[in-house]
Chain A
Amino acid sequence: MNATVPAMSETLLALVFVLLLIAPLAVAGVALINTGLGRSRSAAQALLGNLAMVAVAAVFFAVIGATIAGNLSGTGFSFYAAGKPWNWLGAGSLFLHGMGSATPQAQLELLFEFLAVSMVVLIPWGSGADRWRLAGGCAAAAVVAGVLFPLFAHWIWGGGWLGQLGANFGLGAGFLDVGGAAAVHLFGGLSALVLLWIVGPRSGKFPKEGLSTAMPGHHAVAVLFGCLLALIGWTAWNAAGAILWLHAPLTALPETAINTLLSASAALAATFAVTRARFGKPDASLCANGWLAGLVTSSACAALAPAIGAIFAGAVAGLFTPLLVELLELALSVDDPSGAITVHGAAGLWGLLMAGLFAPKPGQFMAQLVGIAALLGLALPLLYLFFALLNRVVEFRADADGERLGMDLYELGGSAYPEFVIHRDDSYR
């Protein structure tokens, strides 16, 4: 990352590598959740979209993004203000040039960022289910992976100004984002929000009169299995992040893993209780959202909080998740099938605040606030600008026929479940 980072032992390097080989299960889990929360007539397109976006993101991050992130070279462009260096852009080589000669730690950091960018691009894909075209999704993935994500990744993980807030301004240990709660989940949640502003709701979701139309996910089993896969991936991801970004010793890793489980469990219990109290029975898809919100919260604070702190952070995330999902849909007319704005955006933000609260160094909470302000203030307008421009070149939204047919037939020419009889949707009458 930079010259001040202490060297890691070979044992730790090997452990991080193994953990990063397990971490993609988190991406697989989110892909399953995205697919299951959409409708059956768009299932194949949804899962293929997850794969395609990961592929596009990996290529664009390798070609351009890693240059901006700057982890391999450990250098960046800086200017001086108030007598302090402000490292704002990485200065790596294009096409991962020089990867073989980089330190093992720098290579592992790069691998971590490859996984992070894979997750980032999947988050808005779930929100745009049933109307976001594959071409539009891939174009957005290219821009996010090639330009936008690497900028913030450099600021946080590549020796940029956010990571150096501690050294330069005495704010704790600098902005801490151990498991990607900011660069991955908050950023992904913001991109989901921007996408939904641009593509709008699914046809028939908000009729002229009355409440919004319920459009439940088609495969609760896939969604809940995705949650279990995500737990495995998240545990490995948080542990790898703790070693890479906090330089945590081996002895601290079991606590990080336990805190990840505790945060998710407390969140699920809270969502279970809230949905049972509100609807008389627990809601499977909202409980899945709660579980995922707990995992996202743990991304920020699992390596920093005590066990009771992880339970508290997860429980609060689980409490606000169903309420915010409902608020977004009913009060703000935001049609977010996967709940990404709440699950990734809001829970990521909450986790970052909790990390600031539980971190041992004074000034950490202020560092977290600066990081949140930077992401919210700059990422959201940039995402809007790029997505709006892209939408003019590659139209994001399918036409009315595409939505009526389902994205499987419209984009792929075949259904994920060919034995199913496709019923006419009453909402189009």
Chain B
Amino acid sequence: MKFAGLLVLPAGFFLTLTALVLFADPARRAAFIACSLAIEALGLAVTVRGHMPQRKAGRL
């Protein structure tokens, strides 16, 4: 799961680049960038969650 989250993060980055390239209209560009940030937040949450069981298993 942690690697899935880490793969989602660059997807958000490339979506941001796509928004800059594709949309000249500020409103549409802003909406697209907001979506890409939301995707990155999701990826971060999945990565954080993916690392929690590993730590629990390693506890003494």
Contacts and interface: CB of A to CB of B under 8 A. Distances in A.
A165 B29 CA distance: 13
A373 B48 contact: no
A333 interface: yes
Interface in A324-359: 332-333
Interface string B41-60: 00110011001101110111
Contacts of A377: 9-14, 16, 36, 40, 43
A372 to B, nearest CB: 7
B12 A208 contact: no
Interface of B (DSSP majority class): helix
A206 B13 contact: no
B29 to A, nearest CB: 7
A373 B44 contact: no
A378 B13 contact: yes
Interface string A281-293: 0000000000000
A370 B33 contact: yes
Interface stretch (A92-100, A126-134, A196-204, A300-308): A196-204
Contacts of A372: 37
Given A207-B60, A363-B26, A373-B33, A333 B10 contact: no
B30 interface: yes
Given A208-B59, A366-B33, A374 B52 contact: no
Contacts of B16: 370, 373-374, 377
Interface string A359-394: 000010010011011101110110010000000000
Quick one: which of A207, A377, A378 has the most chain B CB within 10 A?
A377
Contact of B21 (A81, A376, A381, A384): A81
A376 B60 contact: no
A378 B11 CA distance: 9
A152 to B, nearest CB: 12
B55 A373 contact: no
A371 to B, nearest CB: 9
A377 B15 CA distance: 10
Nearest to A371: B16
A373 B6 contact: no
A58 B30 CA distance: 38
B44 A380 contact: yes
B40 A373 contact: yes
A332 B52 contact: yes
A200 B33 contact: no
B55 A82 contact: no
Interface in B1-41: 2, 6-7, 9-14, 16, 20-22, 26, 29-30, 33-34, 36-37, 40
Nearest to A428: B60
A206 B55 contact: yes
Contacts of B10: 377-378, 381
Nearest to A400: B60
Nearest to B7: A381
Nearest to A193: B48
B12 to A, nearest CB: 4
A200 B56 contact: no
Contacts of A333: 52, 55-56
Quick one: which of A169, A374, A381, A428 has the most chain B CB within 10 A?
A381
B20 A373 contact: no
A391 B34 CA distance: 35
B55 A366 contact: no
Given A332-B48, A380-B44, A373 B12 contact: yes
Given A363-B26, A366-B30, A380-B44, A200 B6 contact: no
Given A374-B13, A378-B13, A197 B51 contact: yes
B55 A200 contact: yes
Contact of A366 (B7, B26, B60): B26
28 contacts: A81-B21, A82-B21, A169-B20, A197-B2, A197-B51, A200-B54, A200-B55, A200-B58, A201-B59, A204-B60, A206-B56, A332-B52, A333-B52, A333-B55, A366-B26, A366-B30, A366-B33, A372-B37, A373-B37, A376-B9, A376-B44, A377-B12, A377-B13, A377-B14, A377-B16, A377-B40, A378-B10, A378-B13
Give the 3 A-B residue pairs with the shortest CB-CB distance, closest first. Answer: A377-B13, A373-B16, A82-B21
Given A201-B55, A428-B60, 10 more contacts: A82-B20, A169-B20, A206-B56, A373-B12, A373-B40, A374-B13, A376-B9, A376-B13, A376-B37, A377-B13
